[in-house]
Chain A
Amino acid sequence: MRQVYSILVNNHAGVLSHVAGLFTRRGYNIESIAAGPTEDTTITRIVIVAIGEENELDQIAKQLRKLYDVREVEQISYNQAVTRELVLATIKAPITKRSEIIQLANAFGAQVINMTDDTVTLEASGNDHKVRTLLKAFEGYGISQMARTGMISLPYDGMPEDWEPIA
């Protein structure tokens, strides 16, 4: 099972390593991690995607809440929140394949940000599903380099009180 944690922490030195260290120490796997400032300068948001058994994932949240610099931990399910990830990928693109690749990129709403004789570099963003499908689509051409930001996430505002997420 994968779980997205949105963690608000005090913006103190060493907090990121403390949070990441907790995952290592307890033997949980981090799939991605992204951190950055929030609207309040004293608070940082860390978004972590982790893999584990269901009871393990709840245990992580409890352990995180115990860290003194951690203010809030939300376990986010996909339909409760916007989640986005940014991907930069360099695709092997010989002249003969180039227009096909660009067409495919357009279909995904990806931008071409660099081009050489035999490569095309794309910028794309989307939710987990879109990023995966996109990467799958380009896999056949050969991805020579890739960088991903890891997931960031914000809960949807204005959800009705009685709204229940579809599991």
Chain B
Amino acid sequence: MAVATKAKSQTAKQPTKLKPQKISGAEIVYRSLEREGVKYVFGHPGAILLTVLDLFLKRSKIKHLLIRHEQCAAHMAEGYARASGEVGVCLTTSGPGATNLITGITDAYMDSIPIVCFTGQVATSMVGNDAFQEADIVGMTRTITKHNYLVKSTDDLAETIQEAFYIARTGRPGPVLVDLPKDVLLGDGDYQLPEKVDLRGYKPTTKGHPRQIQRVAEAIEKSKQPLLYVGGGAIHAEAHPEIVKLAETAEIPVTYTLLGAGAFPSAHELSLGMLGMHGTAYANYATMECDLLIAVGARFDDRVTGKVSEFATRAKIIHIDIDPTAIGKNKTADIPVVGDARQVLVEVNKLIKPQERPLWKKRIQNLRTEYPLTFDSPEGAPIKPQEAIVALSEEVGDKAIITTEVGQHQMWAAQFYNFTFPRQFISSGGLGTMGFGFPAAIGVALARPDKLAIDIAGDGSFQMVMQEIATAVQYDIPVKVFLLNNATLGMVRQWQDLFMDRRFSEVDFESSPDYVKLAEAFGASGRRIVDKDDIRPAIQEMINTPGPFILDVIVDPDELVFPMVPAGGATKDMIVRDSRKKILQGKLSALPDN
């Protein structure tokens, strides 16, 4: 195929009224960010970026934060985007600066999070020569971005950036990367933009087809045992008011995925909580019994369905999603609707008549009482992670936005925190990235200064990113780390406990930092608790202490997450409660021995 050199200019629309004016590439980057309404840039410098960095010194509209590791810059941009719905931005240098972003970009791709990553690149004349700090970041991120660009001429820069933001935030959102060669930043070019982005070949369908919407309404009316299954797409689309309306009008119970938490109030009488591998038993049983499953912005992920051929076998499937490839990928849909979840549900709601389903409601109620979500907390035993989360939820409730790391603590947070509004729960779902939650919480704190950003963390995950305490302290960002410290990689240990006959290999930390001293070493504050009685006072201390705070909660390492559908198993194989016969002795190895 011919190599196109001036691809952008070929697709450029006719010049608008704006008089063409030549300005430097760096200046174009800054103005473009301003134009897109960017408030924060999460970055880490390198020589290639000097001209751009210089502008952050001279101007004040956009705040650049100096992040300690590029992976965290991407997670912060994600946290910002997940909490605000706006595009998060990061800026890193070429080579290692760019490759360090990869985990964060993949995370954003898997969870459909709009971020735009700018990377420095060696000069266009050097590209391909293995020049110093050259990495083919466009090649490497091809399968983990919604789209990416290597900008080849300063004249193309403004339009490329405009497109990047447009692609990131429209349709099914996702990460976009823009690679900026040194000479493109240094050179002068046109700052000229079409009035409206019009991309040939990229036109997401947002309005559902009226015939399909009609069929959805009919199916709901005919159904005796419908179930709403709500995913992260519902949150991106701001569809929550429509979901509540649909559920209440047609009396439909609601279950949500890890990423859908917050789209429907956890404590609503129609809420079944989370479904899937560690979902509530009653949500999972409801999927087996329902005769109509209404998926909204969810993708039938294997952690949700287990063995997909045995998932919701009695149900007719309605699948509403903005991404046509999500529909029918894992599970065939009887009524597919391509469109924006909110727009589609607005139309569906116009057709829905009030309905009552006393039998189905009763059945759900019975499942709830028969298989409740519980845990034991014997007198004198170590703190149970679940009770710490319940206490946190009761103490801070809707004042907080919760992020998590990945592991057992993440599942307990999803199970036991009482979520009341969308974007209140922010977690790495698709990729399951340890080290996501702390940097994401920093992004959250900036996006939502009216809320308290709390990372419910595991000790293993936190150790991957704890250098960012420095960032939080430098910019006085009041993030709180609620560290459920079991001195082990709990989730992996759980699998060894259940499936490897309790042979714990390479999971326990025989050395852990003293997290209180760690916080202090960085100029933050912290406290450690071991007794149940201290949980609530310590939480109060955490939220009342200004600035970043680590609350090190020493918890029982032998606690397991239940219910559990074993990987690849069917919903009916779910282990509902902890049936281990052995008496497990909690050990408090997490305490440093000073």
- Could you tell me which A residues sit within 8 Å of B by CB distance? 10-18, 21-22, 25, 35-37, 42, 44, 46, 55, 58-59, 62-63, 65-66, 68-72
Q: Known: A35-B1, A37-B2, A62-B324. Contact between A68 and B147, CB under 8 A?
A: yes
Cα A12 to Cα B3 with chains together (Å): 6
Q: Is the CB of B167 within 8 A of A68?
A: yes
A13 in complex: contacting residue of B3, B146, B201, B329, CB < 8 Å: B3
Judging by beta carbons under 8 Å apart, are B202 and A68 in contact? yes
A146 vs B2: C-alpha distance when bound (angstroms): 25
Nearest chain-B residue to A44 (Cβ)?
Answer: B1
Chain A residues, CB < 8 A from B10: 42
The verdict on A18 contacting B7 (CB below 8 Å), with A55-B328, A65-B324, A68-B201 known, is no
- Which residue of A35, A44, A63 contacts B325 across the interface (Cβ within 8 Å)? A63
A18–B142 CB distance below 8 A: yes
Contact B11 A42 (CB under 8 A): yes
Q: Are B325 and A62 in contact (CB under 8 A)?
A: yes
| Residues of chain B contacted by A11 (CB below 8 angstroms) | 1-2, 4, 7
B131 within 8 A of A: no
From B5, B199, B325, contact of A66 by CB (8 A) = B325
Q: Which residues of B contact A37 (CB under 8 A)?
A: 2
The interface size bin for chain B is 20 to 34
B142:A12 contact, CB within 8 angstroms: no
Judge whether B219 is part of the interface by a CB distance below 8 angstroms: no
- Contact partner of B328 (CB less than 8 A), chosen from A10, A35, A46, A59, is A59
Binary contact readout B130-169 vs A (1 if CB under 8 angstroms, 0 otherwise): 0000000011001100110010000000000000000100
By a CB distance below 8 angstroms, the chain A residues around B139 are: 14, 17
Give A41 Cβ to nearest chain B Cβ, in Å.
Answer: 8
Q: A14 and B11: CB pair below 8 A?
A: no
**Which residues of chain B from 574 to 593 have a CB within 8 Å of any chain A CB?**
none
Q: Are A68 and B199 in contact (CB under 8 A)?
A: yes
Beyond known contacts A13-B150, A59-B329: 6 more, CB 8 A cutoff: A10-B4, A11-B2, A18-B142, A25-B143, A42-B10, A66-B324
Interface residues, chain B, CB within 8 Å of chain A?
1-5, 7, 10-11, 138-139, 142-143, 146-147, 150, 167, 199-202, 323-325, 328-329, 332
Bound CA span A58–B150, Å: 31
List 23 interface pairs A-B (beta carbons < 8 Å), by A numbering.
A10-B7, A10-B200, A10-B201, A11-B1, A11-B2, A11-B4, A13-B3, A13-B150, A14-B138, A35-B1, A36-B1, A44-B1, A44-B2, A58-B328, A59-B329, A62-B324, A63-B325, A66-B323, A66-B324, A66-B325, A68-B147, A68-B199, A69-B201
Rounded to whole angstroms, the CA-CA distance of A16 and B3 in the bound complex is: 10
Q: Which residues of A contact B4 (CB under 8 A)?
A: 10-13, 42
A37 to B3, CA, bound (A): 11
Report the minimal beta-carbon distance from B291 to chain A, rounded to whole angstroms.
Answer: 24
Complex: how many Å from CA A42 to CA B11?
A: 9
Closest-by-CB residue of B relative to A66 is B325
Closest 8 CB pairs of A and B: A71-B201, A12-B7, A62-B325, A68-B147, A16-B1, A25-B143, A13-B3, A11-B4
A61 to chain B, nearest CB (A): 9
CB distance from A78 to the nearest CB of B (A): 25
- Which residue of chain B has its CB nearest to the CB of A63? B325
A48 to chain B, nearest CB (A): 13
Question: How many angstroms from the CA of A18 to the CA of B143 in the assembled complex?
Answer: 8
Q: How far is the CA of A21 from the CA of B136 in the complex (A)?
A: 15
A48 CA to B328 CA in the complex, in Å?
23
| Chain A residues near B167 (CB-CB < 8 A) | 68
Nearest A residue (CB) for B3: A13
How far is the CB of A36 from the nearest CB of chain B, in Å?
8
